[in-house]
Chain A
């Protein structure tokens, strides 16, 4: 089972992740950023908050790929992989949500209105509601899984549900928030990926490595959990 050729046991991409994250944390705080009103220095959150969502999307994609692989061959290993990637995706999604809430409370809140008023405006934002729906769908995935005792049934049903949950991501976080007016940037196109008029070249120099670094860290933690689950599985059989 522990074939050394598997990516999980290689160290080069783990080292890459550490280097890219160290670069993100230093260059992200020290390099010049565009001076924009209201955003000010908080624009640096792009290297942290936005990367959480990128990492979440990539982890969920790996999860759904493994769910499909499970349905093709009924190998329990793929089910374990799909589950752990989904959990890691949820963790990154929650971190993205929390960091977004902190960021928004400083940049979106209207200082001329009472705090409760601005809160109700922010809470009504379609991007936030969409992200909340997407995360809740994935919470339901975990609840569904853990409520089934039979191992094969559990794996099969949750693999099918995983595909539905992934499909739900698209209306919830990609389509609906872009149709409706939102305070969140990126309504006109791809947030943070718009080369022409979104973020400056200086910021992209940190942003892209940051996305890769954070994603690799998420993958790293997930592979540790997968290896633990595989060990447990081995001991049980």
Chain B
């Protein structure tokens, strides 16, 4: 392996590390996660989901009652 090839290889390696670093810099909601406020969102979303499910459960019970009445 001559020196030109070695340098080329080194450059390619450098490029690979550079691109992999660039990939790591994708902006995510890291600050939101680090101070824990994401749990507030989870709490809100889960509350809404539970409310809707409670509604469906009550509907289910009501229909069951109607079915027994007939």
Contact = CB atoms under 8 A, between A and B. Distances in A.
B38 A30 contact: yes
A75 interface: no
Given A25-B45, A29-B42, A228 B63 contact: yes
B18 to A, nearest CB: 15
B28 interface: yes
B13 interface: no
Contacts of B26: 35-37, 40
22 contacts: A14-B57, A14-B60, A18-B53, A21-B49, A22-B50, A25-B46, A29-B38, A29-B41, A29-B42, A30-B42, A35-B28, A36-B26, A37-B26, A40-B26, A40-B28, A41-B28, A41-B29, A220-B56, A221-B56, A224-B56, A224-B60, A227-B67
B63 A231 contact: yes
A2 interface: yes
Nearest to A39: B26
Interface of A: 2, 9, 14, 18, 21-22, 25-26, 29-30, 35-37, 40-41, 217, 220-221, 224, 227-228, 231, 234-235
A121 to B, nearest CB: 24
Contacts of B53: 18, 21
A40 B63 CA distance: 44
B70 interface: yes
Interface string B3-44: 000000000000000000001101111000000001001100
Contact of B45 (A9, A29, A217, A228): A29
Contacts of A35: 23-24, 26, 28
A197 B42 CA distance: 29
Contacts of A231: 63, 66-67, 70
